[in-house]
A and B are shown apart, each in its own frame.
Chain A
């Protein structure tokens, strides 16, 4: 029976008469197992399509003949089990039990027996002959899965016929097996899943209570099993059928053994596991074994975190080694020269026009555009990490850390998204069911450093710290993550009081990166960034420029300077002058505006670009403080709007702003004064 033949099926499609002499065959299987394909092969055009009585679920049946024997086949709805979880499952089992078919054909997938044998584990318990159609042998072959139909047949105790319905192979063998079983030439002695010893006694007790009251055609043992499984339909039937004292006794037993629900299903999976152990061979693929080997380190709770920190460091190293020199070249050789040329070209025009082009346009947007190479390298390295499958591990080890700190597990997905952008991260908190849990996640999500924040750091760190930029950037990311864990832990202790819930994930296999996928991601993100630079950042740069020249054309007496000096005392606490303070505030509409604002305020000169100007203007302590505050400062305007939308409350939105402001100011003040103490100023 295990040989596949490619001969066309020898069935003949009878006129759709059926008739009382026709052998009734029920075709059962889970969805997408090829049930309809087999049904169509056997019945051809002789099909009747209607609805199941009282349901809107399609009922298909058809007639055919094989070796002169008439058959009527009923295509049962696709079901995962025979427990009343859905109307389809009720229909399938009621048909098998009430219509008394001559035989049931269970169609399973050879490529996914772990899942598809569950229905078989239920069918073997019913008083009806069973034949298993082991479909999708071609898919199993392609995936390198070797299934022995002979061993499976011995283990199940019912005929197993390998087939590939899409190619019509194995259909004759299936019909032959059906003929043999119906002729009594092939004994069917199904091996049924065992009920665990402790639950067997319970089942026997329930069977004793219901035995003489079970309505036909249900087998009492099967009913007892279904009651243990918590089947609502059977419970309702038995409540009606049983005398009240028996029903109360049954209910009392079920209440005492509410764990039986999972125990019965567990027994079936044990049964499936034992069968597959002998009947299925999955070759250990090199890719899987490589993934396992790598994950011993990459997904390890401690090593995984160190590797993540190392990879982040490597990303910054690549960025600074390749991106920073290109950015510097663009800044000095392109933007600064263009600004000089613009001033020369506009020498005869009003001063405001020359200022607008040289300082507003080129100083602001030009500065932002110069860090496109840095962004491209960032996007490329993160796209590479995503494409090889590493980002899932990064999220996994981070989430493990948060669990160790007592943070709620359901926050995983939103926080994972936050590395890209905080906006979808906040929206992603919809996966968190409880209101407090969701609010907590929303409050801490902006602490995940988004690409824009990381890019600002990647631009400014080399300007301020030269060769030490790598360590500073790396430390800033770690500081953000530390603040995230710290805030999460504190808030979790207050709101959740140690409650833990589970999050299960299946990580993708590591695989070779696809250049096209990475290229597309880099292209899309770069285009998105360029569009932002040409719209929001341009608008903000022009506003800042206008405020920096009005009313008299002098920066030091401008509205911006007046505003900056008004808030300068707060900045001074963190070692920042009014220009850095204004740049920080300008980052509210979009994080990149911090660079645009500095570009406008410092302008471009023939002596060098913005980076050179910044290096010359600020002490290490002030620069460090500015970067720390930038990393922890209130999120961008879009994120704040989404926080308002998702919390539905200005109170929580303001709380987030206050929390982020407090965190960033405390961190900024501490870092600045510590740096001064360490004589880094």
Chain B
């Protein structure tokens, strides 16, 4: 049911955080991360690894780099599928 519950949370809308989602689903943040990747590959959500040209000149650009381990913020967005 975990993946279905995660999808239900996403479909309900709102801002979701992976740590909170893990607690709600009774699993680990790593499992939530894996399921989000599954949903991304299935086209249910889109990931923002960086903002592309949108970030040019942005003072917060360094906060969004997916590949940097520290101080990063990873984002996904519902694709509406």
Q: List residues of chain A with CB under 8 Å of any chain B CB.
A: 80-81, 85, 112, 114-115, 118, 259, 262-263, 265-266, 269-270, 272-273, 276, 282, 291-292, 295, 299, 382, 386-389, 391-392, 395-396, 399-400, 403, 409-410, 412-413, 416-417, 419-421, 423-424, 427-428, 430-431, 433, 451, 500-509, 511, 517, 521, 525
How far, in whole Å, are A418 and B1 apart by their CA atoms in the complex? 38
User: Shortest distance in angstroms between B60's beta carbon and chain A's nearest beta carbon?
Assistant: 5
Chain B 1-32 interface mask (CB, 8 Å, partner A; 1/0) = 11110010111111111111100000111110
**Are A400 and B15 touching (Cβ within 8 A)?**
yes
How far, in whole Å, are A609 and B58 apart by their CA atoms in the complex? 33
How far, in whole Å, are A262 and B8 apart by their CA atoms in the complex? 11
How far, in whole Å, are A7 and B59 apart by their CA atoms in the complex? 51
Q: How many residues of B contact A (CB 8 A)?
A: 55
Across the interface, B38 reaches (CB within 8 A) one of A265, A388, A431, A433, namely A265
**Are A505 and B18 touching (Cβ within 8 A)?**
yes
**Are B4 and A424 touching (Cβ within 8 A)?**
no
Question: Inside 8 A of A420's CB, which chain B residues have their CB?
Answer: 58-60
Contact (A427, B54) CB under 8 Å given A80-B41, A114-B31, A525-B59: yes
How far, in whole Å, are A389 and B17 apart by their CA atoms in the complex? 14
How far, in whole Å, are A483 and B17 apart by their CA atoms in the complex? 26
Q: What are 21 A-to-B residue pairs whose CB atoms are below 8 Å?
A: A112-B30, A114-B28, A114-B34, A276-B31, A386-B62, A392-B63, A409-B14, A417-B60, A420-B60, A424-B57, A431-B51, A431-B77, A502-B13, A503-B75, A504-B15, A504-B75, A505-B15, A505-B73, A511-B70, A521-B59, A521-B62
Contact (A505, B75) CB under 8 Å given A299-B17, A386-B63, A392-B63: yes
User: Shortest distance in angstroms between B59's beta carbon and chain A's nearest beta carbon?
Assistant: 3
How far, in whole Å, are A525 and B10 apart by their CA atoms in the complex? 37
**Are A430 and B14 touching (Cβ within 8 A)?**
no
Interface-centre pick from A291, A400, A501 (highest chain B CB count, 10 A): A501
Question: What residue of chain A has the Cβ atom nearest to residue B15's Cβ?
Answer: A399
**Are B59 and A500 touching (Cβ within 8 A)?**
no
Interface residues in B44-79 by Cβ distance below 8 A to A read 45, 48, 51, 53-63, 70-78
How far, in whole Å, are A517 and B65 apart by their CA atoms in the complex? 14
Question: Inside 8 A of B58's CB, which chain A residues have their CB?
Answer: 417, 420-421, 424, 428
Interface-centre pick from A81, A272, A295, A504 (highest chain B CB count, 10 A): A504
How far, in whole Å, are A445 and B56 apart by their CA atoms in the complex? 17
Q: List residues of chain B with CB under 8 Å of any chain A CB.
A: 1-4, 7, 9-21, 27-31, 33-38, 41-42, 45, 48, 51, 53-63, 70-78, 80
Question: Inside 8 A of A505's CB, which chain B residues have their CB?
Answer: 15-18, 73-76
Question: Inside 8 A of B55's CB, which chain A residues have their CB?
Answer: 417, 424
Interface of A is mostly: helix
Contact (A507, B17) CB under 8 Å given A270-B2, A273-B31: yes
Known: A416-B60, A506-B73. 5 other contacts (CB 8 A): A114-B30, A292-B19, A388-B71, A409-B14, A517-B62
Question: Inside 8 A of A431's CB, which chain B residues have their CB?
Answer: 48, 51, 54, 77
Interface-centre pick from A269, A388, A428, A511 (highest chain B CB count, 10 A): A269
User: Shortest distance in angstroms between A112's beta carbon and chain B's nearest beta carbon?
Assistant: 7
How far, in whole Å, are A591 and B71 apart by their CA atoms in the complex? 30
Question: Inside 8 A of B28's CB, which chain A residues have their CB?
Answer: 114, 276, 282
**Are A502 and B14 touching (Cβ within 8 A)?**
yes
Contact (A85, B41) CB under 8 Å given A391-B60, A409-B13, A502-B16: yes
**Are A506 and B17 touching (Cβ within 8 A)?**
yes
**Are B15 and A511 touching (Cβ within 8 A)?**
no
How far, in whole Å, are A427 and B12 apart by their CA atoms in the complex? 27
User: Shortest distance in angstroms between B46's beta carbon and chain A's nearest beta carbon?
Assistant: 8
**Are A413 and B15 touching (Cβ within 8 A)?**
no
**Are A511 and B76 touching (Cβ within 8 A)?**
no
**Are B51 and A503 touching (Cβ within 8 A)?**
no
Question: Inside 8 A of A396's CB, which chain B residues have their CB?
Answer: 15, 17
Contact (A269, B51) CB under 8 Å given A389-B71, A433-B80, A507-B19: no
How far, in whole Å, are A409 and B77 apart by their CA atoms in the complex? 9
User: Shortest distance in angstroms between B74's beta carbon and chain A's nearest beta carbon?
Assistant: 4
**Are A410 and B71 touching (Cβ within 8 A)?**
no
Question: Inside 8 A of A118's CB, which chain B residues have their CB?
Answer: 34, 38
Question: Inside 8 A of A392's CB, which chain B residues have their CB?
Answer: 63, 73
**Are A506 and B41 touching (Cβ within 8 A)?**
no
Contact (A508, B71) CB under 8 Å given A413-B51, A424-B56: yes
**Are B74 and A506 touching (Cβ within 8 A)?**
yes
Contact (A508, B59) CB under 8 Å given A502-B9, A502-B11: no
Across the interface, B42 reaches (CB within 8 A) one of A85, A269, A276, A430, namely A85
How far, in whole Å, are A505 and B16 apart by their CA atoms in the complex? 6
Nearest 7 A/B pairs, CB to CB: A500-B13, A420-B59, A266-B3, A424-B58, A114-B34, A115-B34, A502-B78
How far, in whole Å, are A292 and B4 apart by their CA atoms in the complex? 25
How far, in whole Å, are A416 and B60 apart by their CA atoms in the complex? 9
Contact (A503, B78) CB under 8 Å given A428-B51, A451-B59, A508-B71: yes
**Are B3 and A299 touching (Cβ within 8 A)?**
no
Question: What residue of chain B has the Cβ atom nearest to residue A30's Cβ?
Answer: B37
Question: What residue of chain A has the Cβ atom nearest to residue B46's Cβ?
Answer: A431
Question: Inside 8 A of A399's CB, which chain B residues have their CB?
Answer: 15
**Are B78 and A507 touching (Cβ within 8 A)?**
no
User: Shortest distance in angstroms between A580's beta carbon and chain B's nearest beta carbon?
Assistant: 29
Question: Inside 8 A of A272's CB, which chain B residues have their CB?
Answer: 31, 34
